[in-house]
């Protein structure tokens, strides 16, 4: 293992004889964003603990601070006090920068649409290339004035908000970000807002709005959001299952592994990856310990040990529940017996990178038998033998999840793997490389 610092542009990884230890992953990124945003527009003060320290969440925090929200550290790492401003924020004096975070841009646009001032929100080059018409269109229907590049479909976005009315809207895709942007705008609209979902997506916004005194009616996949003034609530953010997924794959696929990941959130709208691994034959090698509820969210410790997997077909309504985990799931599929087919995942092409193309290209470099399709990929698994993958030079393509997926591949491959762009992991998991080193040190 390289001794380069976490900020190094590349890291060298080799497969250890064994892999094991106990660790905690960062606070759930989705819940972290929402705990800041919703408490910022609530009445009263809140203590948020276990907040993700990733760059994406910091982008949300800084945008809120630029709109007059007081967010201060509260002693222990990951703890912050948020002094709610109620429904009225302050017009920012400068452009809001969402960095690399699609969640920040889309959810904050829902807030900006409700505010009676002009704002401009942008992001880095990657974010400025990602589709924003999916939030712009419904927010315009609600009464916001929004302009952007390429016929209002790309950032920077200029938003003149206020005077919103509730609408009835059919989501064109199962997207928690789009759904949440409309919901956040609907809290300040005149009249109810009705959202028809094509499939289940993560429901953290619904849970948190309800916990803060708002009213969200659910009828199957249909949601009705009533206008509401929210009350601040203290939130303990559970561990992010998307981050835990990297260690789950490492533990299942390494020939001699025993890993315990503490305090992982197991919201049913997020646990598609757990369902897939059970279908792949993980069985007792993937155990949930000390199952409990924290802040309205189900939480457990996850114990992972080595096993043999088999290929499966993944698609349909399951995809929104595991979309972020597809790159590392593809790594696991390389070590399964038989073919794994991932379909209905075209949304991956408009993430931080084209995750279909980049996952396929990078795993191919390591010797994987994998091919891209229009809306997914097919992985021809080689089983759990010693030479499934072979070390190679890999690129992150400025994508945090790809950087970490290739690191896991390096832990499982024969020979040395170099991950270029390793520091991109900090977008969602700043401690990733330290935790990887911890798993190696615990078995030395």
Q: What are the tokens at 197?
A: 């979902």
Residue 310: beta bridge partners? Answer: 337
Q: Quick check: 77 and 99 in contact, CB under 8 A? A: no
Could you say which DSSP state residue 344 is in?
S
Longest CA span, the chain: 62
Those residues whose C-beta lies under 8 Å from the C-beta of residue 351, and which sit 6 or more positions away, are 102, 130, 399, 401
How many angstroms separate the CA atoms of 61 and 36, rounded? 7
Q: Quick check: 62 and 100 in contact, CB under 8 A? A: no
Q: Quick check: 182 and 138 in contact, CB under 8 A? A: yes
- Going edge to edge, which strands form the sheet with 10-14? 10-14, 416-420, 393-395
Place of tokens 């049913």: 268
How many angstroms separate the CA atoms of 410 and 393, rounded? 10
From residue 310, how far is each of 242, 276, 281, 307 by CA, in Å? 21, 11, 7, 10
Q: 3-state DSSP call for residue 185?
A: helix
| Cα R_g (the chain), whole angstroms | 21
CA torsion sign for 426, 209, 152, 170 is: positive
How many angstroms separate the CA atoms of 396 and 10, rounded? 10
Active-site residue, from 28, 55, 97, 324: 324
Q: What are the tokens at 159?
A: 């938003």
Q: Work out whether strand 96-97 and strand 118-122 pair parallel, antiparallel, or are unpaired.
A: parallel
Instruction: Say how many C-beta atoms besides its own lie within 10 A of residue 196's C-beta.
Output: 12
* 324 carries an active-site annotation: yes
Give the chain's count of helices (H) and strands (E).
Answer: 13, 24
Q: Quick check: 213 and 240 in contact, CB under 8 A? A: no
Report, as residue numbers or ranges, the catalytic residues.
Answer: 324
């Amino acid at each position: 293992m390289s001794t380069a610092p976490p900020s190094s542009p590349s890291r060298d990884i080799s497969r250890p004889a064994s892999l094991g230890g106990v660790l905690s992953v960062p606070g759930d990124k989705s819940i972290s964003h929402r705990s800041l945003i919703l408490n910022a527009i609530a009445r009263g003060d809140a203590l948020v603990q276990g907040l993700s320290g990733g760059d994406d969440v910091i982008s949300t925090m800084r945008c809120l601070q630029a709109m007059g929200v007081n967010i201060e550290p509260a002693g222990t790492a990951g703890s912050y006090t948020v002094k709610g401003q109620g429904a009225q924020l302050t017009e920012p004096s400068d452009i809001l920068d969402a960095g690399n975070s699609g969640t920040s841009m889309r959810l904050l646009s829902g807030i900006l649409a409700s505010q009676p001032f002009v704002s401009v929100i942008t992001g880095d080059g990657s974010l400025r290339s990602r589709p924003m018409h999916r939030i712009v269109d419904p927010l315009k229907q609600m009464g916001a004035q929004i302009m952007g590049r390429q016929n209002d479909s790309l950032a920077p976005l200029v938003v003149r908000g206020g005077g919103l009315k509730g609408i009835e809207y059919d989501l064109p895709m199962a997207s928690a970000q789009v759904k949440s942007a409309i919901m956040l705008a609907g809290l300040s609209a005149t009249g109810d807002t009705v959202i028809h979902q094509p499939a289940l997506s993560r429901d953290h916004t619904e849970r948190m709005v309800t916990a803060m005194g708002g009213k969200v009616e659910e009828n199957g996949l249909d949601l009705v959001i009533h206008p509401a003034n929210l009350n601040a609530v203290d939130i303990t953010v559970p561990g992010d299952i998307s981050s835990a997924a990297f260690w789950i794959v490492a533990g299942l696929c390494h020939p001699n592994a025993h890993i315990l990941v503490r305090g992982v959130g197991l919201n049913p709208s997020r646990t598609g990856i757990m369902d897939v691994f059970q279908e792949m034959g993980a069985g007792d090698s993937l155990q949930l310990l000390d199952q409990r509820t924290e802040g309205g969210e189900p939480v457990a410790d996850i114990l992972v040990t080595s096993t043999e997997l088999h290929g499966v077909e993944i698609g349909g309504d399951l995809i929104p529940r595991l979309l972020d985990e597809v790159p590392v799931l593809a790594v696991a599929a390389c070590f399964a017996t038989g073919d794994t087919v991932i379909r209905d995942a075209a949304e991956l092409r408009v993430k931080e990178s084209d995750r279909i193309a980049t996952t396929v290209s990078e795993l191919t470099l390591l010797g994987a038998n994998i091919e891209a399709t229009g809306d997914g990929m097919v992985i021809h698994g080689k089983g759990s033998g010693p030479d499934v993958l072979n070390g190679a030079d890999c690129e992150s393509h400025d994508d945090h999840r790809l950087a970490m997926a290739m690191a896991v591949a390096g832990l499982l491959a024969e020979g040395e793997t170099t991950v270029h762009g390793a520091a991109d992991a900090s977008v969602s998991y700043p401690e990733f490389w330290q935790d990887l080193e911890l798993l190696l040190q615990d078995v030395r």
